[in-house]
Amino acid sequence: PCEWDGIIFDLRSKKIDLIWNGLTITPQREQQIAFSTPYFDDDQIVIVRNPNIKSFEDLKEKNIGVQLGSASYFAFENSPLSKTTGKVNKYSTNVEALLDLEAGRTDAVVIDAVVGKYYVAKKDGFVVLNEILDKQQMGIGMRKQDLSLKNKIDETLANMKADGSFNKIYQKWFGNN
């Protein structure tokens, strides 16, 4: 496990060899590291517990939780929503942010859909707002000099998509959508 706001440093300093945990491809990250071909599309969503919060409009002056250094954090910071909310609570992990939402210390959490919807399915009382903050693509992050590794990963992903094994894994964990 690594703290997300230092994950690229951990990769570049060779503490880890790959980032393969919901890493969103962004122009800023592409300047620092190499990415595999995108393997997953994901949304940035907002989770709430208060049934009176039904839209982004209802989040005015509310406290928002985000994981520091994550794609959710940057999607929030670059959105109009960041200009109208109250306090922004920054967390080292999504789990910390979601625990504070559960405890009522924040009103909403901005999070990757794949992580957020998994959490919502396991906990009663959490709701995903219908509005999407941002759409993004996920890729596997590696050092720029690791070109042979990148080529092998891209080839393997392409083969898995071609032979149907990628789709079987996707359906197992995320359904047919």
Looking at the structure, tell me whether residues 75 and 127 fall in a common domain. yes
Per-residue pLDDT at 71: 85
As a whole number of angstroms, the distance between CA 162 and CA 115 comes to 26
Strand-pair partners of 47: 109, 128
Per-residue pLDDT at 177: 56
Looking at the structure, tell me whether residues 113 and 52 fall in a common domain. yes
Looking at the structure, tell me whether residues 56 and 103 fall in a common domain. yes
Residue 152's domain comprises 4-40+136-174
Task: Using DSSP, state whether 119 is helix, strand or coil.
Answer: helix
Per-residue pLDDT at 149: 96
Looking at the structure, tell me whether residues 10 and 20 fall in a common domain. yes
Looking at the structure, tell me whether residues 123 and 105 fall in a common domain. yes
Looking at the structure, tell me whether residues 54 and 126 fall in a common domain. yes
Tokens of 169: 């894994």
Looking at the structure, tell me whether residues 18 and 84 fall in a common domain. no
Per-residue pLDDT at 69: 84
Per-residue pLDDT at 52: 94
CATH code of residue 13: 3.40.190.10
Per-residue pLDDT at 175: 67
| Contact criterion met (CB below 8 Å) for 122 and 10 | no
Per-residue pLDDT at 3: 77
Cβ atoms within 10 Å, residue 46: 26
Looking at the structure, tell me whether residues 61 and 116 fall in a common domain. yes
Per-residue pLDDT at 60: 94
Looking at the structure, tell me whether residues 81 and 109 fall in a common domain. yes
As a whole number of angstroms, the distance between CA 114 and CA 88 comes to 22
Average pLDDT per block of 10 residues along the chain, 177 residues long: 83 94 87 95 94 94 93 90 92 94 96 88 90 93 97 97 93 72
Domain count, the chain: 2
